[in-house]
């Protein structure tokens, strides 16, 4: 039996340039099964392009916190200038989607379960199985993980939300975060301050019928100049502020 290979990705955040780079890398290896862990359209210049491309894949998609915000924008809850800018970009992102595209986002599930070739399963969620707002980190204590993961039972527990790649064991399960396709947070030191790195993050799971299991955390470069061109052509609010936050080498 051939190995089962699954591309796991999350947090595209309206960055279709990075998303296309990830899909090209996965398909170059013959990987055609995918799972998306949410936060698809908001906070970037290409919300429609990402939603349309994801829809073409016909893969399971988890509801993320900003996916829900696209459907029901939250009330202003901060006077912080950074937060206000992000909220305004997200509101613009939501306004770019057609009713049909919004219906697609509304179809995202709180959790998704995929069977694995070794007889196990993969449970996908955004923050945790109980809430897309929960935060799971490499440093989260075991006792807190017990509370966040609850009664979840799967060989692999996969979530996004933090934009930080992670692979750790929890009891008999592996907990993985593929990082962020479109907005990684491992920021690059630069003269003008720390900036977003011009790479896209994702993971590849390989399950064998012999019981073997392999999870690889990946990152690949993408054309950040193409992203910046899309930003400036998009009409999104705070475009220059967003563009200035990327490391361009």
Tell me how far the alpha carbon of residue 176 is from its chain's centroid.
Answer: 12
What share of the chain has pLDDT > 70, as a percent?
95
Within 8 A by CB and 6+ apart from 180, the residues are: 10, 11, 12, 13, 160, 163, 200, 201
Total-model pTM:
0.95
- Examine residue 130 and state whether it is found in any structural domain, yes or no: yes
CATH classification at residue 159: 3.60.21.10
Q: Which of 30-34, 148-152, 238-242 has the lowest mean pLDDT?
A: 148-152
- Of the pLDDT bands very low, low, confident and very high (cuts 50, 70, 90), residue 189 is low
pLDDT of residue 32: 96
Asked whether residue 248 is domain-assigned, the answer is no
Q: What is the pLDDT of residues 31-90, one digit of tens each?
A: 999 999 999 999 999 999 999 999 999 999 999 999 999 999 877 677 788 889 999 999
pLDDT band at 249 (very low <50, low <70, confident <90, very high): low
Domain that holds residue 197: 4-243
Comparing 192 with 4, the larger pLDDT belongs to 4
Q: How confident is the model at residue 118 (pLDDT cuts 50, 70, 90)?
A: confident
Average pLDDT over every residue of 143-172: 94
- Count how many domains the chain has: 1
Residue 249 lies in a domain: no
The verdict on residue 50 lying in a domain is: yes
Q: Please report whether residue 233 resides in a domain.
A: yes
Task: Tell me the per-residue pLDDT of 89-114, one tens digit each, with 9 for 90 and over.
Answer: 999 999 999 999 999 999 999 999 99
Beta-bridge partners for 64 = none
Q: Residue 231: inside a domain, yes or no?
A: yes
Q: Would 177 be classed as within a structural domain?
A: yes
Over residues 7-25, the mean pLDDT reads 98
Going by C-beta distance under 8 Å and a sequence separation of 6 or more, which residues neighbour residue 25?
Answer: 202, 218, 220
Q: Are 134 and 100 in contact (CB under 8 A)?
A: no
- The tens digit of pLDDT for each residue in 65-80 reads 999 999 998 776 777 8
Q: How far apart are CA 123 and CA 121, in angstroms?
A: 7
Asked if residue 191 is part of any domain, the answer here is yes
Strand 173-177 relative to strand 213-221, pairing:
unpaired
Angle between helical axes of 16-28 and 47-57 (0-180°, round to 10)? 30
Residue 1 to residue 39: CA distance in whole angstroms: 34
């Amino acid at each position: 039996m051939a190995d089962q290979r699954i591309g796991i990705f999350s947090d595209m955040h309206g960055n279709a340039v990075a998303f296309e780079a990830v899909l090209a890398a996965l398909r170059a290896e013959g990987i055609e099964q995918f799972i998306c862990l949410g936060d698809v359209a908001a906070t970037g210049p290409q919300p429609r392009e990402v939603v349309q491309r994801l829809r073409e894949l016909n893969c399971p998609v988890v509801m993320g916190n900003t996916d829900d915000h696209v459907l029901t924008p939250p009330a202003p809850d901060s006077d912080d200038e950074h937060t206000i800018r992000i909220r305004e970009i997200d509101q613009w992102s939501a306004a770019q989607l057609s009713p049909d595209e919004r219906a697609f986002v509304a179809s995202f599930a709180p959790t998704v379960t995929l069977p694995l070739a070794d007889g196990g399963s993969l449970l996908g969620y955004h923050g945790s199985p109980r809430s897309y707002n929960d935060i799971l980190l490499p440093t989260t204590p075991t006792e807190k993980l017990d509370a966040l993961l609850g009664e979840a039972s799967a060989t692999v527990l996969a979530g996004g939300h933090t934009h930080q790649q992670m692979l750790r064991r929890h009891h008999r399960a592996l907990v993985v975060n593929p990082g962020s396709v479109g907005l990684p947070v491992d920021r690059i030191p630069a003269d003008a301050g720390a900036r977003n790195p011009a790479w896209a993050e994702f993971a590849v799971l390989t399950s064998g019928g012999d019981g073997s299991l392999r999870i690889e955390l990946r990152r690949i470069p993408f054309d950040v100049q193409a992203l910046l061109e899309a930003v400036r052509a998009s009409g999104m609010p705070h475009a220059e502020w967003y563009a200035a936050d990327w490391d361009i080498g």
